[in-house]
Structure 1
Amino acid sequence: MKKNTWKYGGAIFAILLTFVFVWNFNNTVSKETVISVKAKSLKKDIKNETKSGTTKGMKTAFTIVSHADYTKDAASVYTMYQKAQVVLVGKFEKENKSFVDNGFIETESHMKITKVLKGTLADSEMKNGIDIVSYGGEVTLDTYLNNTTQEPEKVESNGVVHKPKQYSKQERESEKVVSIPEQQANKDKDKNSEVMVFLSRNPAPNNYFVIADAFGYRKINNKGEVFNPITNSYENVDFYSKN
């Protein structure tokens, strides 16, 4: 009797474990199609990260092109302003690192601040600049595989089994994974370009995340006009003045 109890209990546990795995996998995939303006916690203890430039020259194992249905929210600079917790004007100095967080490749860049249009920054942040995080970037294949849930085997109706690709140690260390938002819009990281950036933030200092992917960056021309990636033209914005 005890043996049967353990037997049935083990079977139920296996079923529940399978359900949890499948649910987690589907939930991770579904996030690719959702835009979130909620602040993301930047994990300071992430060990598997790729410093900017270390993937240069590496062969690309595969490219991830993510899509989010946020065009309506990004159509108006005023809607973006309302959704953002912090809106600032500044210039990019450098990309610090790329890493994998919750299955997504993200990149941290450093910005020097020219003007704060919404929200507040600490004096030290105004003086030294801030680190901002956005989706997209490049990491080594090894970093990516170590920080993501791998696809399970797929079985077709005819019984054919498709196993996920297996990579050698050399491939994992010499190849990279590239993540690109489908809409690159006007994500201009030229050090000479002044941009308006729309951010969410966490309570911790230097923890800012760009909302609406690449649409959270708006280049500013020498007339003080702000680029609209939907109309592909510059426009005057009444909450911003270059002077």
Structure 2
Amino acid sequence: MCLILFAYQVHPVYKLIVAANRDEFYQRPTAPIHYWAESPEILAGRDLEKMGTWMGVTAKGRFAALTNYRNPQELTEGKRSRGELVAEALKHKGNVKDYLQGLVKNNHDYPGYNLLAGDANELFYYSNIGQMLQKIEPGIHGVSNHQLNTEWPKVKLGREGLSEILTGKQEDLTDKLFELLQHSDPAPDGILPSTGVSLEWERMLSPLFIKSEHYGTRSSTVLLMSEKEIQYGERVFSKDGINNQQYTITL
């Protein structure tokens, strides 16, 4: 996952609203959202190479999602897959804050990451870059491949777009969020971040929705969580078109 926009405890009905894009190399094998056979309480997509995931929910309303922290100089050989972290957060039977606090001892086992985990009543952010554990305050937030609410162009644009959607008319909320995630215009060179990749790559990675020959946005996900239910939708993009899935979980 390379962009997570979310509104936490600001909507009168949906305590947690998430609009997220997963960016990945096109050849990496992936399964769309489904209930996992070995953990049927989990609804999530799956990375079929490492068997982890980038975002998911459980039948009891736990949510977890992750983005990579971009550092081209970081040595990743021999490190574990970050997708394990989302899967384990969803499987964890105890308090999710305890799970996140326990990650400190494993900081060096994984490449840099940002992890969100919790539910509609208590949500946390943890990054192994700087070892930051933070309780999320009500508001509109965003995280890409730097830390929470870093003002990268795509994060700024996404948060502004999410705010505009939520202050407007509320019909077709899911469709409006998916439309926001489709924004594919690159940011002007003058406001691009400098993350250690080439200018060409900074341009290519700057939109909310990424397109290139070998790498890009593979799927978009929208989650609406109220006290009574979760609406969880995914659009998977491939050369064969768009695959839409929509699930509802009653809490």
TM-score by length of 2: 0.21
Highest Rg: 1 or 2? 1
Higher helix residue share = 1
Task: Report the TM-score, using the length of structure 1 for normalisation.
Answer: 0.22
